[in-house]
């Protein structure tokens, strides 16, 4: 092949590859993109229906319930303004604890309980997922109080 043809071949192949890649990317992105929804928005019913999304916040103190001997667990997550009940079945991450930040993947159930299929707590004591930190700072309630008592002013904030 002549150098000119080589270059044409290279450019053509690269363009084809990128076109295929771009097409697939856009198509598959739709299905795999998971939005982070603030707890207050979830409580107000503003969340994607019939698909997975993420929520995050602090685990409300005393809200963790499990049946003796079962791996099913229920707890509440708060952004200091509102709370959302979460159910999960399986092994929890090591840093999952009342009062700590968590992020949960899953979807909203019929019973208005967030059915999580994955729970993530961060590996570092000082570290909080940026989304959660953002969401908490927006509401600016007393974090200690929210963790102990649960949220108090749901619906009164402007979100």
Q: Is the dihedral of CA 157, 76, 103, 97 positive or negative?
A: positive
Nearest distance in Å: CB 29, another protein:
7
Q: Does 68 bind another protein (CB under 8 A)?
A: yes
- Quick one: how far is CA 48 from the chain centroid? 12
- Quick one: how far is CA 65 from the chain centroid? 21
Q: Does 45 bind another protein (CB under 8 A)?
A: no
Q: Pull the structure tokens for residue 16.
A: 């084809």
**Closest of 125, 95, 90, 124 to residue 105, by C-alpha:** 90
Q: Does 70 bind another protein (CB under 8 A)?
A: yes
Binding window for another protein (CB under 8 A); candidates: 11-19, 77-85, 106-114, 144-152 = 11-19
Q: Does 50 bind another protein (CB under 8 A)?
A: no
Pick 61 or 88: Cβ nearer another protein: 88
**Closest of 117, 51, 122, 50 to residue 88, by C-alpha:** 117
- Would you say 80 and 141 are in contact if contact means Cβ atoms under 8 Å apart? yes
Nearest distance in Å: CB 153, another protein:
23
Q: Does 65 bind another protein (CB under 8 A)?
A: no
Q: Which residues bind another protein (CB under 8 A)?
A: 1-3, 5-6, 9-10, 13-14, 17-18, 20-21, 24-25, 28-29, 31-36, 54, 66, 68-71, 89-92, 94-95, 122-127, 129-131
């Amino acid at each position: 092949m002549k150098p000119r043809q080589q270059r044409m071949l290279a450019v053509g192949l690269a363009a084809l590859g990128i076109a295929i890649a771009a097409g697939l990317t856009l198509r598959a992105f739709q299905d795999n993109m998971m939005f982070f929804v603030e707890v207050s928005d979830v409580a107000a019913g503003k969340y994607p229906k019939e698909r997975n999304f993420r929520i995050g916040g602090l685990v409300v103190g005393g809200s963790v319930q499990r049946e003796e001997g079962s791996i099913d667990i229920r707890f509440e997550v708060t952004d200091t303004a509102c709370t959302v009940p979460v159910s999960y079945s399986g092994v929890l991450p090591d840093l999952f604890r009342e009062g700590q930040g968590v992020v949960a993947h899953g979807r909203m159930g019929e019973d208005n309980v967030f059915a999580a299929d994955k729970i993530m707590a961060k590996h570092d004591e000082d570290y909080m997922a940026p989304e959660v930190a953002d969401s908490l700072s927006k509401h600016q309630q007393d974090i200690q109080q929210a963790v102990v008592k649960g949220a108090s002013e749901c619906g009164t904030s402007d979100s």
